[in-house]
Structure 1
Amino acid sequence: MKQFLYTICFTLGSLSLIAQESQVKQWTFQECLEYAVEHNITIKDAAYTTETANVTLQQSKDSRLPTVNASASQGFKNGQSIDPITSDFVDEQINTTSFGVNASVNLFQGNQIKNKIKQNKLLADQNSLYLEEAKNSIKLSVTQAYLQALYAKEGIAVAEKTLEASTKEVEQAKARLDAGSIAMQDYTDAISQEATNKYNLIEAKNNYEQQIIALKQLLELEPEVEFDIVAPNYKTYTAPILPNKIEVYEAALGMLPEYEAAKLNVDVTEKDLDIAKGNYLPTLALTGSFGTGYTSSQNMSFSNQLDGNLNQTLGLSLTIPIFNSFQTKAEVQKAKIAINQSKLEIISLQKEIYKNVATAYQNALSSQEQLEAAKSASKAAEESYKLAQKKYNLGALSTTDLVVSQNTFTNAQLNYLQAKYLNILYNQLLQFYQGNAITL
């Protein structure tokens, strides 16, 4: 009975594991892109930075509003003193209570508030562009990781077919050894090749799992989440026609957010100059206060004194800068230098963008030529391997020569896969630089 229950539990457990394995979600490339953009922590961090910039913008707008503060105090005095409520000279112990409200608002501050608002608006726009740059960076990283995973997945298929062929060859070699038609060395060569191909299959699977781990991390998936990818149909892949390199570069300048952000940085530094120059101008502020109080030196009730001691003030405050140890002059000079540096950054970024576009273009061109060569080599190696198998079956070819032919075919297949996925990657980069969506 116990054995029967154990069998039932084991069977149910096995079925559960099989069901779980069959439920492993296969992610398409588009699903990976969308999920990464929504969940990647680098993008989230950039989004928080953008939110902070927007809060700073609102803060600078709110600086136009007046500041209002309320105050209250309680004091005790003994001996000769001035009554803080009545301003009378007294020579007795008194206690006082005072209440007040003070307000001030800047009417003019060398246009610094206005320029700071404009600058913070530019910074908010700039951070929005940095957020888009972060999204683009993650998209490119996901594209690269996905293609590497696809390459590794096809590598597993190649390794499995190669191992399957070598296993059959071992069986054939064993039969021929038993029949006395081959030497022991030929048989051991076949066994050695089968073991090598088993090792290659394990390595191919491990490489695929490593690429899956990298892709899962970009998507911010938990380690326990089962993950697999959908392989597009690239059996009859043909390299696309390459676009004009200069046109791609010009399109990149018009769509890359980091380039727009660099141009905005010039405007930001120009506002720094305007703000620094504002320190040369006077500051005008409007101030007002409202107060009342109670003192024990008066023979009046608390409420009557609060009503009778009411006071209000209203005034203008003008501050004219005369000399501040050349601090403003230095700030103006540094702002001018920063403007020139920001313009140099644009030139430097233009060179970097051109380098990236030109590199992607050259790699696409090179991989296209490699693809054609690898395709021809793979077909030739396949025909050669088929011919070698026929000769081997007829006893006209040694196991060593068959192994050499098999390895040549396997390497040719892997070279073709590598050239194919590199060509896909570089062509997708060129599409990206033109502002087109990345599609696999």
Structure 2
Amino acid sequence: MLSAIMRKRIAIAIICLFPFPLLAQQQWNLKECIDYGLKNNRSNAVYDNEKRIADAKAKEALADYLPKVSVTGSFDDNLKVQQSIIPAGVFGPDPVRVAFTQKFNTNGTAQLDQTIYDQALLNGLKANKYNKQQADLNVKQNQETLIYNISNAYYQIYVYREQLRLLKENLDSYRKQMDISKLQVQKGVTLQKDLDKVTVDYNNATSQIRVAESNLTLAQNQLKYEMGYPIADVLPVDSVSQQDAAVVPAEIATTDNSFTVANRTDYQLSQVNSKLLEIDEKRIKAGALPRLTGYVRYGAVGFGNTLGPAFSDLNPFSAVGLKLTIPLFDIFKRNAQYNQAKYKTLNAAENLKLDEGKYQMEFENSRTKLLKAQTNLSNDKRNIELAESVFRTTDLQYKKGVTTLIDWITARNSIKDAQNNYLNSLYSFYQARLDLEKANGSLKTYYNSL
């Protein structure tokens, strides 16, 4: 048998060998959950790829204004050599048949083309800046969505835990009353039906606890999904740190009446889209202008009645030139495309004005809802305190025999009703708070302030 001192030393050694995280499991608060989600949610990879696509589009547009080099080569085996006819009187009285090639013919050419002026391409290059802005704003909008969804799921967990706490308090109250009623039935002081009434409420509370536990599990899985956290792993959420969140932040959020529509990421995206439509309109219009291109060409040709000379005896040639392209007969198609782009640009400008009013309305409505939710939450908290005060008085009267079990059950049910109203108000408050941050375009600020 090991001595007590030896057992103590072995226990200390085992503890020292264990990793610290296994001894003290981390409790995830809201900010840590959001931090994890911003780094690990799979949607981040999607929007990062969108940024890379925008960069590739910019390079593609620029490539049209960079030099382009092409190399071509051909080899012909003229099974029947084509002949041309020189009319009579040029080299004699009779027409002369002449072949200007031989059986084998090789041709190799390298050409460099450089666009010198193309207004449509120049206008297209201006879109690169806005394509990159659009990709960056999409990343920002995705981050705001993650902040909103993770916060919403996190607060749901807090509400369900609060519900479970209240339900377990109710269950404990019913259990104590059941024990008292059983003794009273055994002594013949009360009837079995009184015990049955309390038992029914006890069983109902048990069922409600099972439902609440199921809802809590679903909310935890939803939070894991929004975070990009493994569903099968345990995520210990620290909702204790959020217990004061229903009081202080509301005062701060509702006192600020200022609203700037430009803070909304979706409005910024609409502005960028409007700029891109304007550029597209100008690009189509510039398609009617002449395009000037320069080129340098170098090559060699070879001929021979046998295969060897066609490759060995090559005759080089070269040229430098300009090419001016003036589109003339596509005016109807271009006008149709231009009109489409013009009206899309006009609609985008009108939609921006509509969005200004829409987002202003969303902000005002969200602020009103938060004020109302805050008031309801405070009232419902006080109602629970009042219902509990009434129940304590009724419980004391019932123990002294001056009131009936019906009055006791009614008072207990009043607490349950007040608790349900409080839980609904609590969730409505959290929802309204997040909606206000979203409507104000301040979800990132809200996250940074956690």
Pairwise TM-score range, normalised by the shorter structure: 0.7 to 0.9
Residue 120 (structure 1) shift: 2.7
Q: TM-score, normalised by structure 1?
A: 0.85
1:79 touches 1:91 (CA, 8 Å); kept in 2? no
One-letter amino acid matched to 1:397: T
1:78 touches 1:91 (CA, 8 Å); kept in 2? no
Residue 104 (structure 1) shift: 1.3
Residue 79 (structure 1) shift: 3.1
List per-residue Cα deviations over 1:28-71 (Å, max 9, x = no partner).
Answer: 11121122222223343233222211210121112211211112
Residue 172 (structure 1) shift: 0.9
Residue 282 (structure 1) shift: 0.6
Find the partner of 1:259 among 260, 267, 276. 267
One-letter amino acid matched to 1:49: E
List per-residue Cα deviations over 1:90-123 (Å, max 9, x = no partner).
Answer: 49972233322122121112x1111101113212
Aligned to 1:96: 105
1:95-134 aligned within 5 A: 95-109=104-118, 111-134=119-142
Larger mean CA deviation between 256-265 and 155-164 belongs to 256-265
Aligned to 1:145: 153
Between the aligned partners of 1:122 and 1:248, the Cα distance in structure 2 is 28
2:177 touches 2:198 (CA, 8 Å); kept in 1? yes
Instruction: From the superposition, tell whether residues 245 and 328 of structure 1 become closer, same or farther in structure 2 (CA, over 3 Å).
Output: farther
**Does the alignment pair 1:280 with 2:284?**
no
1:59-70 aligned within 5 A: 59-70=60-71
One-letter amino acid matched to 1:324: D
Instruction: From the superposition, tell whether residues 300 and 74 of structure 1 become closer, same or farther in structure 2 (CA, over 3 Å).
Output: closer
1:233-272 aligned within 5 A: 233-234=242-243, 237-238=246-247, 240-241=250-251, 247-250=257-260, 253-272=261-280
One-letter amino acid matched to 1:363: K
Aligned to 2:363: 357
Between the aligned partners of 2:255 and 2:351, the Cα distance in structure 1 is 23
> What SS does the corresponding residue of 2:313 show, helix, strand or coil?
helix
1:217-232 aligned within 5 A: 217-231=225-239, 232=241
> What SS does the corresponding residue of 2:131 show, helix, strand or coil?
helix
One-letter amino acid matched to 2:393: L
1:337-352 aligned within 5 A: 337-352=343-358
2:70 touches 2:112 (CA, 8 Å); kept in 1? yes
**Does the alignment pair 1:333 with 2:339?**
yes
Residue 343 (structure 1) shift: 0.5
Instruction: From the superposition, tell whether residues 288 and 179 of structure 1 become closer, same or farther in structure 2 (CA, over 3 Å).
Output: same
Question: What CA RMSD, in Å, does the superposition of the two structures yield over aligned residues?
Answer: 2.8
> What SS does the corresponding residue of 1:437 show, helix, strand or coil?
helix
> What SS does the corresponding residue of 1:57 show, helix, strand or coil?
helix
Structure 1: 4+ residue segments shifted above 4 A? 20-25, 242-246, 298-304
Instruction: From the superposition, tell whether residues 303 and 335 of structure 1 become closer, same or farther in structure 2 (CA, over 3 Å).
Output: closer
> What SS does the corresponding residue of 1:224 show, helix, strand or coil?
coil
Aligned to 2:217: 209
Between the aligned partners of 1:99 and 1:242, the Cα distance in structure 2 is 77
> What SS does the corresponding residue of 2:126 show, helix, strand or coil?
helix
1:79 touches 1:92 (CA, 8 Å); kept in 2? no
Find the partner of 1:401 among 400, 407, 424. 407
Larger mean CA deviation between 268-277 and 225-234 belongs to 225-234
Aligned to 2:38: 37
Residue 428 (structure 1) shift: 4.5
One-letter amino acid matched to 1:338: K
> What SS does the corresponding residue of 1:360 show, helix, strand or coil?
helix
One-letter amino acid matched to 2:31: Q
Residue 181 (structure 1) shift: 1.1
Between the aligned partners of 2:52 and 2:266, the Cα distance in structure 1 is 18
> What SS does the corresponding residue of 1:313 show, helix, strand or coil?
strand
Larger mean CA deviation between 111-120 and 89-98 belongs to 89-98
Aligned to 1:73: 74
Residue 301 (structure 1) shift: 5.3
Aligned to 2:382: 376
Between the aligned partners of 2:357 and 2:169, the Cα distance in structure 1 is 47
Residue 420 (structure 1) shift: 3.2
> What SS does the corresponding residue of 1:378 show, helix, strand or coil?
helix
Instruction: From the superposition, tell whether residues 171 and 244 of structure 1 become closer, same or farther in structure 2 (CA, over 3 Å).
Output: closer
Between the aligned partners of 2:441 and 2:77, the Cα distance in structure 1 is 78
One-letter amino acid matched to 1:417: L
1:367 touches 1:422 (CA, 8 Å); kept in 2? yes
Instruction: From the superposition, tell whether residues 27 and 243 of structure 1 become closer, same or farther in structure 2 (CA, over 3 Å).
Output: closer
Larger mean CA deviation between 297-306 and 272-281 belongs to 297-306
> What SS does the corresponding residue of 2:75 show, helix, strand or coil?
strand
1:97 touches 1:294 (CA, 8 Å); kept in 2? yes
1:79 touches 1:93 (CA, 8 Å); kept in 2? no
Larger mean CA deviation between 281-290 and 328-337 belongs to 328-337
Between the aligned partners of 1:345 and 1:36, the Cα distance in structure 2 is 33
Larger mean CA deviation between 388-397 and 52-61 belongs to 388-397
Q: TM-score, normalised by structure 2?
A: 0.84
2:104 touches 2:310 (CA, 8 Å); kept in 1? no
Residue 145 (structure 1) shift: 1.5
Residue 293 (structure 1) shift: 3.5
> What SS does the corresponding residue of 1:397 show, helix, strand or coil?
coil
One-letter amino acid matched to 1:45: V
Aligned to 1:17: none
> What SS does the corresponding residue of 1:221 show, helix, strand or coil?
coil
Between the aligned partners of 2:364 and 2:126, the Cα distance in structure 1 is 37
One-letter amino acid matched to 1:269: L
**Does the alignment pair 1:318 with 2:324?**
yes
Instruction: From the superposition, tell whether residues 237 and 260 of structure 1 become closer, same or farther in structure 2 (CA, over 3 Å).
Output: closer
Percent identity, aligned pairs only? 17
Instruction: From the superposition, tell whether residues 206 and 304 of structure 1 become closer, same or farther in structure 2 (CA, over 3 Å).
Output: closer
> What SS does the corresponding residue of 1:26 show, helix, strand or coil?
coil
> What 5-or-longer segments of structure 1 have no aligned partner?
1-19
Residue 176 (structure 1) shift: 1.1
One-letter amino acid matched to 1:391: Q
One-letter amino acid matched to 2:51: T
1:100 touches 1:291 (CA, 8 Å); kept in 2? yes
Instruction: From the superposition, tell whether residues 374 and 300 of structure 1 become closer, same or farther in structure 2 (CA, over 3 Å).
Output: closer
Instruction: From the superposition, tell whether residues 254 and 369 of structure 1 become closer, same or farther in structure 2 (CA, over 3 Å).
Output: same
One-letter amino acid matched to 2:212: A
Residue 82 (structure 1) shift: 6.4
Instruction: From the superposition, tell whether residues 407 and 300 of structure 1 become closer, same or farther in structure 2 (CA, over 3 Å).
Output: closer
Instruction: From the superposition, tell whether residues 82 and 143 of structure 1 become closer, same or farther in structure 2 (CA, over 3 Å).
Output: farther
Between the aligned partners of 1:30 and 1:330, the Cα distance in structure 2 is 53
Residue 202 (structure 1) shift: 0.7
